[in-house]
Structure 1
Amino acid sequence: MKPLLHDSLNIALLTIALLGLLSGLGLLLVDRADMATVAWTLGVIPVLAALVFEIVASLAKGEVGLDIVAALSMSAALLFGETLAAAVVALMYAGGSFLESFAEGRARREMSDLLSRVPRTATRHRNGALDEVPLDEIAPGDLLLIRQGDVAPVDGTVESDRALLDQSALTGESMPQRLNRGQDVMSGSTNAADAFDLRATRRAADSTYAGIVRLVEAAQASKAPMARLADRYSLLFLAVTVVLATAAWWFTGDPIRAVAVLVVATPCPLILAVPVALVAGLSRAAHYGVLIKGAKPLEALARINTLILDKTGTLTDGRPQIVSIETVAQPEDQVLYFAAALEQASKHPMAQAIVAAARARGMALPVPASVVETPGEGLSGTVDGRQVIVGGPAFVLSRIGAPAPHAQGTDTGSALAALAVDGVLAGQLVLADTLRSGTSELLAGLRRLGIARILLATGDRHAVAEAVTAGLDFDAVRADLTPDQKVLLVLTEHKHGPVMMVGDGVNDAPALAAADVGVAMGARGAAASAEAADVVLLVDHLDRLLPGIEVAQRARAIALQSVAAGIGLSVAGMIAAAFGYLTPVQGALLQEVIDVAVILNALRALRIMPRGPASREQSQ
């Protein structure tokens, strides 16, 4: 069953059908049966005409559905004088179409909320004044004022001392996040406290929220394999319905039994249940920060057997972090202070990690002077009037001529940044791309959801990969992989069943596209990976996979339950009608009860509560 044209027409047809039925019943009560027949017929004809128009349009597209059964039942009922049954079918069909449209609208609410929050303008600082400007005029580097209640229009960094942001519409996080100066702000976040200044880092079209909106629009336009399967089965159901109705008429000589069979088969839960349940699943997954691009990947996500994880940015944070500070001639805070102050002049990821660590400790960093950077090696300059050098140990030691101290914690995968102040080695900072917290629990949760094989795929050296995954429940670790080798790994794993690939970089995009379900880490990740992926985790938390997979599995199960129950009851009703146990009017009422039950059952997908720890945290 498909909604009749537009919602406004649905309402009009529902009103006409209802008035026709009630008018006819009123006339029947005053012994005007002839006029009652006219009233019921007038209530049916507009609905039947609109339905025929829809059928012709669908046939022109090569689509055949059970709307034909509805048209046959109304036409046959009118032809054989069962005008009351025809009026009931018309009312129930128009009502069912309206109810399906309402249910799908209810199911899409979470994603529609994302679309409705798109800001159109922004308040920009310019020449000591504030201007309201369209979003496409904002350029990286512009300073914007985000007032209380405003939605951040672009990605940027906090330029005020602090900000409190509500990201629940994007990530499902129930508690607002407090950010300090220099921390990143995701576009689409709502300012939950006092106004603050935001320094734009991307144009609006390239920002997180714009990407999410594009993904949501693509998701809403999709069609699931189960829905296409329903279309194919509708041909079989149509054939069975026509054969059963014809047989009932042939063997009994009573055309009313054929009408009753057609009426009971109108419309079909096979068509109603699948789109409502799967769209409800899409909406529910979006609530937990998992944006699935359509019903097709949601249905595929529910059947995943093998998971392949990228390492950098997926299994690990993808950003170096300070894991320890070794002191030599300066206290730990001073080592971090001088190193971070000078590193402000560099865009190197290690430099940014050192600066972020200092700001996290609340350090006010001075502006360095006379900075000279040797690309890939280090920097030298002046901080608070003192000569500072920071960089790789070999670079720093060559500048001051001092021997290297014994390094602690320089395991495989770690890196060192040495610091010298006024020609004396002050200490070293140990940085590493650390494993995401809760990874072991995540892998155990994935096993519980039925993922039989979990593999790591990375371009890093074997030693680094083995060190990172030590003690974790992986079936295999594949290292030193090029992008095309990752694709080959995905294709090879297809022999074990449907494959899901999770990654975040441009080099992961081909493998994401090759997998049955590609998952990109974070809407702020590489555009190529988000475009190639079927699923995007709206925040860089790998544990969002658990509620995403569970929602998909349970939404698919609900759809199948609805189909099995609805079709079973419809077939039973058709057989009863063929044997004369149901009149056309009774059959129409029975079928509508079945349809309403099917839709209500499908909407249970909106109340799915995943059992994983990540989802429990969000619901608190």
Structure 2
Amino acid sequence: MQKFILSKKNFITLISAILIALGFLGRFGLENNLLFNGSLIIASILGVAPIAIQAYQALKVKVVSIDVLVTIAVIGAVLIQNYEESAIVTFLFLFGSYLEQRTLNKTRSAIKELTELAPENAIKQMENGEFEEIDVDAVEEDDILLVKTGAKVPVDGTLLTGEGHINEASITGESVPVSKKVDSAVFAGTILENGTIQIRADRIGEDTTFVRIIELVEEAQDSKSEAERFIDRFSKYYTPAVLILGFIVWLFSKNIELAITILVLGCPGALVIGVPVSNVAGIGNGARNGVLLKGSEVINDFSRVNTIVFDKTGTLTVGNPEVAEKEVYGNNNEEVLGYLASVERESDHPLAKAVLQDIGKTSFYTVEETEVVKGGGIVAKIGDHRIAVGNVALMKKENVELSEKAKKDVERFEKNGNSLVLTAIDSELKVLMGIRDQIRPGVKKDLQHLKKLGVKNLVVLSGDNQGTVDLVAQELGLTEAHGHMLPEGKSAYIEKMQAEGQIIAFVGDGVNDSPSLALADIGIAMESGTDVAIETSDVVLMNSDFSRLPHALGLTKSTSNNMKQNIIIAVGVVLILLASLLFSEWMNMSIGMLVHELSILVVIINGMRLLRYRLKRA
């Protein structure tokens, strides 16, 4: 019976409104007091039923909730035959509850929208080479899938053939389509706007980025912040205090109506709803804009951050080394580059990939007697030639004499923050390449936005040499730069800064960043980073879009301020109502409850503003 009544709460609210309207029509239109009193009595009984059930359920778990206050107040009003106020109070309370639930559902719309975008089917290449449509749950890793124009990408994968533009708004929040070519990564839930592509399934089911986003946002929205936990504790003691106050007032004044009115005016409805609305709206905004905030607690901590520490590679830089400078000595350039490419093709080192990408199409030769020199490079034979590819130390070991020009070039390349790759043929230097990671486009402006948002210190910690790190820091205007940092060194540095009273956010993407992500007050991971880094972090920037970081910080600051505003509004309304009751004659239960519901509406509207939050950029 209790479940049935609670399930019909909205219907009871509607019936109560009709009965109240009918009662006032009877009194003022038909001058029929029997209709007036009868309608309001029925409205009071119907309206108080679900409230009383909720009060009983709360008392069973030893919680004196707001429902208890309203139930006692309504029963008391009926007993003293104040049917008008008892009916209006129950209706307003139920209507306020309806508004609260509707608002929370609306602020959770980010989850609903994401879920609706989830792909249901996939077109799989079968053993006979034909493509057939199957359920997305039947897709396995390494399956070849066909995606047509306008279709959703069913899983996370790698593009094998074709090209096109994909709308990745469900992942990154960015509506501008992204161009995809062979070897590009694609994500489940995104939409192919033109072209036809074939992809290899890399992540399926719950492992896809799309599903992980939904799970993370659901967990975040169900969590409670410090402010919410405080309000829970506050309500636990506040509500009984209001009951005691009402009893004391009745004891001394013998005015039961005054005591009941105090119970109604003391209901902290806006206080209970204000903070959750702010939190859920803030998390929903983040989900729509490529920022995953893992819980309401993160909002409070992130909003107070005054120092942000960055790993360099894959965070401030692209994480994809490229040849930035090159010098060629002597003639037969095409043949020399062919030799170099042939040797580097034997290596899986990131610098080798950069060299091959720079050389591009060339003639390849048969490589023999390959020897990997630890910490130096590669030595191999091509025909009658001995090829050495590596650093300066390898050149010395191979007795390669560097000319004065070559020495100056080496010094200049190192000064510019390059990793050096030297190529010698038969102990004669032929090619010098300077390779360095490129700074992410737009990072400098994003860092300036962080400073405007109140971040005082921007620090880079990297395992690279100090010269390279200094150059990055100088170009980006960072506060501090520290190179040659191992994972334990980064953690020790963060602990030292925290001991000095700084609130630290750490931004990284690798397994080696996990200790720092966990240790910092706020850990921020790039979505392209390792699973360990993402799981350890508090915030994830989708699509590794660094520009989301200022939006995330601005959003948490606005959400934190919004929570404080709602608390002030809620507490202020209660104080004003109680003061009006004591120092004026016009305050009563109905007016008090109406003001309460209006205050709930105000905090709801204030919280909903966060759904439209956008960082103001110069």
Under a length normalisation based on structure 2, what TM-score does the superposition of the two structures give?
0.84
What is the CA–CA distance in structure 2 between the aligned matches of 1:328 and 1:235, rounded to whole Å?
Answer: 80
Q: Which amino acid aligns with 1:569?
A: V
Aligned to 1:610: 615
Match of 1:456 among 451, 454, 460: 460
| SS in structure 1 at match of 2:543 | coil
Q: Which residue of 2 aligns with 1:581?
A: 586
Q: Determine if contact 1:396/1:419 at 8 Å carries over to the other structure.
A: no
Aligned to 1:208: 209
Q: Residue 597 and residue 437 in structure 1: after superposition, are their counterparts in 2 closer, same or farther (change >3 A)?
A: same
Q: Indicate the percent of aligned positions where both proteins have the same amino acid.
A: 26
Partner of 1:392: 390
Q: Distance in 1 between matches of 2:343 and 2:150?
A: 37
* C-alpha spacing 1:594/1:210, structure 2 compared with 1 (3 Å): closer
Counterpart of 1:78 in structure 2 is 78
Identify if the C-alpha distance between structure 1 residues 282 and 338 changes in structure 2 by more than 3 Å, giving closer, same or farther: farther
User: In the alignment, which of 505, 529, 554 is matched to residue 525 of structure 1?
Assistant: 529
State the distance in 2 between where 1:460 and 1:8 align. 62
Deviations 1:552-572 (CA, angstroms, capped at 9, x unpaired): 111221221122123212321
Question: Does the 8 Å contact 2:40/2:84 carry over to 1?
Answer: yes
* One-letter identity of the residue aligned with 1:100: E
Report the counterpart of residue 569 of structure 1 in structure 2.
573
Distance in 2, Cα, partners of 1:52 & 1:335: 88
Q: Which segment is superposed worse, 135-144 or 448-457?
A: 135-144
Q: List aligned pairs for 1:537-552, cutoff 5 A.
A: 537-552=541-556
Per the alignment, do residues 228 and 410 of structure 1 end up closer, same or farther by CA in structure 2, a change over 3 Å counting? same
Q: CA deviation at 1:248?
A: 4.5
AA in 1 matched with 2:124: R
User: For 1:152, what is the secondary structure of its paired residue?
Assistant: coil
Output the amino acid matched with 1:491. Answer: E
Give the structure 1 partner of residue 90 of structure 2. Answer: 90
How big is each residue's C-alpha offset from its partner over 1:87-113, in whole Å with a ceiling of 9 and x where there is no partner?
A: 222222222122112212222223432
Decide whether aligned partners of structure 1 residues 340 and 570 sit closer, same or farther in structure 2, where only a CA change above 3 A counts.
Answer: farther
After superposition, what is the alpha-carbon deviation per residue over 1:402-423, rounded to whole angstroms, capped at 9, x for unaligned?
8668356632653344679999
How far residue 116 of structure 1 moved from its aligned partner, in angstroms, is 2.6
Distance verdict in 2 for CA 1:151–1:430, change over 3 Å:
farther
Per-residue CA deviation, residues 497-527 of structure 1 (Å, 9 max, x unaligned), is 43212111112222222222111112x3111
SS of 1:519's equivalent in the other structure is strand
Cα deviation, 1:170-189, whole Å, max 9, x if unaligned, reads 21223111122222223332
d(CA) in 2 for partners of 1:487, 1:80:
68
CA distance in 2, matches of 1:391, 1:221: 56
**Structure 2: which amino acid aligns with 1:196?**
I
The offset of 1:252, in angstroms, is 4.1
The aligned runs of 1:420-569 (5 Å cut-off) are 427-470=431-474, 472-494=476-498, 495-522=500-527, 524-569=528-573
Q: 1:17 and 1:279, CA in 2 relative to 1: closer, same or farther beyond 3 A?
A: same
Distance 2:209 2:388 in 1: 34
- Residue 156 (structure 2) pairs with residue 151 (structure 1): no
Helix, strand or coil: the match of 1:525?
coil
Counterpart position of 1:319: 320
- Considering only CA atoms, is the larger Rg found in Structure 1 or Structure 2? 2
| 1:274/1:563 contact within 8 Å kept | yes
Q: Secondary structure at the residue paired with 1:451?
A: coil
Task: Give distance in 2, aligned partners of 1:262 and 1:184.
Answer: 60
Letter in 1 for 2:67: D
Cα deviation, 1:186-222, whole Å, max 9, x if unaligned, reads: 3332111122112333344433223222212211221
RMSD of aligned residue pairs (Cα, Å) = 3.9
| Number of equivalences | 603
Q: CA deviation at 1:496?
A: 1.8
Query: How far does residue 256 in structure 1 lie from its aligned partner after superposition?
Result: 1.6
- Name the SS of the counterpart of 2:179 in structure 1: strand
3-state SS of paired residue (1:281):
helix
Contact 1:336–1:354 (CA under 8 A) maintained in structure 2? no
The answer on whether the counterparts of 1:391 and 1:418 sit within 8 Å (CA) in structure 2 is yes
Kept in 1: contact 2:63–2:236 (CA 8 A): no
Tell me by how many angstroms 1:365 deviates. Answer: 8.8
Q: Which of 591, 599, 605 does residue 596 from structure 2 map onto? A: 591
SS in 1 for 2:161: coil
CA distance in 2, matches of 1:426, 1:5: 86
Over 3 Å counting, the alpha-carbon distance change for 1:159 and 1:327 in structure 2 is: farther
Cα distance in 1 between the residues matched to 2:240 and 2:265: 14
Closer/same/farther in 2, CA of residues 46 and 158 from structure 1, 3 Å limit: same
Greater displacement, 81-90 / 480-489: 480-489
- Shift in alpha-carbon separation, 1:257–1:356, aligned structure 2, 3 A: farther
Q: Deviations over 1:318-362 (max 9, x none)?
A: 22123234445789999889977986776443344456667xxxx
Answer yes or no: is the 8 Å Cα contact 2:310–2:506 preserved in 1. yes
How far apart, in 2, do the equivalents of 1:247 and 1:117 lie?
57
Contact 2:419 2:434 in 1 (8 A): yes
1-structure distance, mates of 2:105, 2:141: 37
Aligned to 1:616: none
**Whose relative contact order is higher, 1 or 2, with alpha carbons under 8 Å and at least 6 apart?**
1
> Which deviates more from structure 2 when the two are superposed, residues 527-536 or residues 460-469?
460-469
Q: Which runs of 5+ in 2 are unaligned?
A: none
Shift of 1:289: 1.4
Structure 1 pair 486–426 and aligned structure 2 pair: CA distance change class (3 A): closer
Range with bigger deviation, 389-398 or 71-80 = 389-398
Mapped partners of 2:63, 2:413: distance in 1: 64
Alignment of 1:151-550 (within 5 A): 151-235=152-236, 237-239=238-240, 241-246=242-247, 248-328=249-329, 347-353=348-354, 377=377, 391-392=389-390, 406=406, 407=409, 410-411=413-414, 413-417=417-421, 427-470=431-474, 472-494=476-498, 495-522=500-527, 524-550=528-554
CA distance in 1, matches of 2:83, 2:309: 60
> What's the secondary structure of 2:203's corresponding residue?
coil
**CA–CA separation in structure 2 for the residues paired with 1:299 and 1:246:** 38
Structure 1 unaligned runs (5+)? 614-620
1:39 aligns with: 39
Alpha carbons of structure 1 residues 42 and 466: separation in structure 2 relative to 1, 3 Å: same
- Residues 20 and 43 in structure 2, CA contact (< 8 A), matched pair in contact too: yes
Give the distance between the partners of 2:350 and 2:442, measured in 1 at CA: 24
CA separation of 1:449/1:140 partners in 2, compared to 1, >3 Å: closer, same or farther?
same
Q: After the TM superposition, which of the residue ranges 23-32 and 511-520 deviates more from structure 2?
A: 23-32
2:11 equivalent in structure 1: 12
- Give 3-state SS (helix, strand or coil) of 2:459's partner: strand
Deviation string 1:566-613 (CA, Å, 9 cap, x unpaired) is 321232112223453212222222222222122112211122221136
Following superposition, the deviation at residue 436 of structure 1 comes to: 2.7
CA distance in 1, matches of 2:427, 2:8: 82
Q: How many angstroms apart in 2 are the aligned matches of 1:562 and 1:18?
A: 28
Contact 2:261 2:589 in 1 (8 A): yes
Given residue 414 of structure 2, which amino acid in structure 1 is its aligned partner?
D
Q: Return the offset for 1:315.
A: 2.3
Q: Are residues 205 and 95 of structure 1, via their aligned partners in 2, closer, same or farther at CA, if it must alter by over 3 Å?
A: same
Which whole-Å CA distance do the structure 2 matches of 1:371 and 1:113 have between them?
Answer: 58
- Aligned equivalents of 2:492 and 2:397: distance in 1? 47
- When the two structures are superposed, what TM-score results if normalisation uses the length of structure 1? 0.84
CA contact (8 A) 2:325 2:413 kept: no
Deviates more, 1:559-568 or 1:451-460: 451-460
The 2-side partners of 1:367 and 1:5 are apart by: 78
Q: Distance in 2 between matches of 1:45 and 1:470?
A: 73
Within 2, Cα distance between the matches of 1:290 and 1:118?
A: 19
- The answer to which of 493-502 and 225-234 deviates more is 493-502
